[in-house]
Amino acid sequence: MQHKKETIKYNKLDNLKQFELIRICKNHQERFFKPHRHDFYEVIYITDGYGKHMIDLQTYELEPNTIHLIRPSQIHQWEDVFNSEYDGYIFLFSKDLLQLNKILDNLFHFHTTPIVNLNEPVKTYVDNLISMIEYDSNNHQNRIVPFAFSIILEYIIMLRKENSTNSLQDTRIALLLELIENNFIDEKSALFYAKSFDLTTKRLNELTKLHLNKTTSSLIIDRNIIEAKRGLMYSDSSIVDLSQQLGFQDAPQFIKYFKRYTSCTPLEFKKLTKLSNVQI
């Protein structure tokens, strides 16, 4: 009898918490190294050590003075076993912690790199703010935590803007990406999204090409393929079940769609990743 693959772990913050700070060298956990997702935001700040971190099919370097940003529902994992050289901080927080949603929109919007490098003097400022947060948390006050942490995020936003070659200056792009995130299963046509902004598909494509160098249809396809790969890698759902979960009429339509945009069938993809031991 075959045992079904365990459903991907979905972690949640304690209902009584809006913020949690983990010191990596003291509080590392086995779950860091297993694929998981969560309903909160996560910021990883590495101060020492080297390794790899996978976020939604992409592998990034864990190295000193780097910030890794993970949105709710993204699947991620550290690829290497823990060693004593790793150190830094993990911030877990809910949207309710910050009153200014603009901070989250600027920092965690879609289709931007989740990695930011800290330089001086920003690194020193961030380290000092973390010390303030630790002191406040250890003394059970938590009065300055939201303010100090908000400043840290503002510094990260500043660095990203300084180093970005493709900032999303048009607010409609951020809204479009959020709309796709919320509707990609049921709405796979660019026309639906264009109508939502009272634009023609041609005009919307002009905007997405300008800011993201992609058409609206490409953005929708990318999001569907990511979700399909998640299902193929991290669940034992049949192709029939997966096609229904992703909003396709039937399995043949899903197989044709997947092969068209990945050059392999869903089963071929699953076999290839299993043989190569790649966690995609």
Domains in the chain: boundaries: 9-163, 171-275
Pairing of strands 76-78, 66-70: unpaired
Give me the architecture of the 171-275 domain, per CATH.
Orthogonal Bundle (1.10)
Q: What is the pLDDT of residues 81-108, one digit of tens each?
A: 666 578 999 999 988 887 666 777 778 7
**pLDDT digits 0-9 by tens, 147-166:** 999 999 999 989 987 765 55
The pTM assigned to this predicted structure is: 0.76
Q: What is the pLDDT of residue 6?
A: 42
pLDDT exceeds 60 at position 167: no
Position 277 confidence tier, pLDDT thresholds 50, 70, 90: very low
CATH of 9-163, one of 2.60.120.280, 3.40.1400.10, 2.40.30.10, 3.20.20.70: 2.60.120.280
Domain 9-163 matches domain 171-275 at the CATH topology level: no
User: What confidence tier does 172 reach under pLDDT thresholds 50, 70, 90?
Assistant: confident
Q: Which amino acid is at 163?
A: N
